[in-house]
Amino acid sequence: MMEVARTLRIDLLVKLLLAVLLGGIIGFEREIAGKPAGLRTNILICVGAALLMDLSMQIGIVDGKRIGDPARIAAQIVSGVGFLGAGTIMQAQGMVTGLTSAATIWVVAAIGMTVGAGFYVEGVGAGLLVTFVLGGLGGLEHWVRRARRIASATVRARVATEFNDVATALHTHGIKVDSHRIFDHPEDRTFELKVSGPSRQFDIAMAALLAQDYVYGVHVD
C-alpha cells in the first residue's frame, strides 16, 4: 500500500488539492470584487507554485540523499511571479491601479510554495489570513478612502487664467493640488489636476471653483 501511495504521489495530490482550495478561496473573493486576477487565475498560480515547489524539493534527491539545492526552482518562482503581477498594474492619468491584485498574485504564489513544501498548517493559516485581509478589511479601507480622497479633475477656464488662481480657490476649501498639466486652446485654457483632501470638502471646493467668473466648467473623476 505504501509503495502504491509513493508511486501515485498521493502526497502531491493532497498538496495540489489544498492549493486549489486556498487559491480558490482567495480567488473567489477577488472575483466578487471584480478584480482582473480572479478565481481561475489565483487557483492556477497557487497550484503551479505548489507543483514547482514540490519538484524543487524532489529533483535534488537521489537514492534518498539530497544532492541539490531545493531553493533553486523556488527562487525562480518568486521572481517569475513578480513579472506576472506587474502585468496587473496599470497607470492611467497619473494614478496607479492594480497594486492589490499584484500583491495578491505574489502572496498566493507564496502560499502555494508553502503547501508544496509540505507546511500545511502554515499554508492554511496564511490563506485564511489573506482572505480576511482582502475581504474583512475592505470596509475599513473604504472608510479611510472616504475620509481622505484622491481624484483627478479637469477645469476649463478663461484663456490665460493663472494656475495659482485655480490652486488658491481649491486650497481655500482644504483641497490640495498634487500635480497639474495645462493645455491652451483658442477658446479656453484647460487644467488637468490631481487633487487630494478631505472627502467631505470636495463638493464644496468644486462648487466654489465653478462659481469663479473665469471658470467655464469642472469635472472630477
pLDDT of residue 94: 45
Mean pLDDT of 127-137: 86
- Dihedral (CA of 121, 123, 125, 128) sign: negative
Q: Are 37 and 30 in contact (CB under 8 A)?
A: yes
pTM for the model: 0.60
pLDDT of residue 11 exceeding 50:
yes
pLDDT, one tens digit per residue, over 178-200 is 999 999 999 999 999 999 888 87
Q: pLDDT per residue over 154-169, tens digit each?
A: 999 999 899 999 999 8
pLDDT tens digit string along 39-81? 888 999 999 999 988 888 887 776 767 777 777 788 888 888 8
| pLDDT above 80 (res 15) | yes
Superfamily of domain 148-220: Ribosomal protein S6/Translation elongation factor EF1B (3.30.70.60)
Alpha-carbon span 102 to 81, nearest angstrom: 9
> CATH 3.30.70.60 spans which residues of the chain?
148-220
Q: Put residue 48 in one of left, alpha, beta given phi > 0 → left and psi -120 to 50 → alpha.
A: alpha
What CA dihedral angle connects 177, 220, 103 and 41, to 10 degrees? Answer: -160
- Distance between CA 217 and CA 212 in Å, rounded? 10
pLDDT at 102: 86
86-115 residue pLDDT tens: 777 765 444 456 778 888 888 999 999 999
Distances (CA, A) of 168 to 29, 115, 177, 181: 43, 56, 9, 16
Indicate whether 4 pLDDT > 60. Answer: no
Instruction: Say yes or no to pLDDT of 210 above 80.
Output: yes
The 3-state DSSP class for residue 190 equals strand
44 contacts 65 by C-beta, under 8 angstroms: no
Q: Is 93 exposed, middle or buried (0-12, 13-18, 19+ CB in 10 A)?
A: exposed
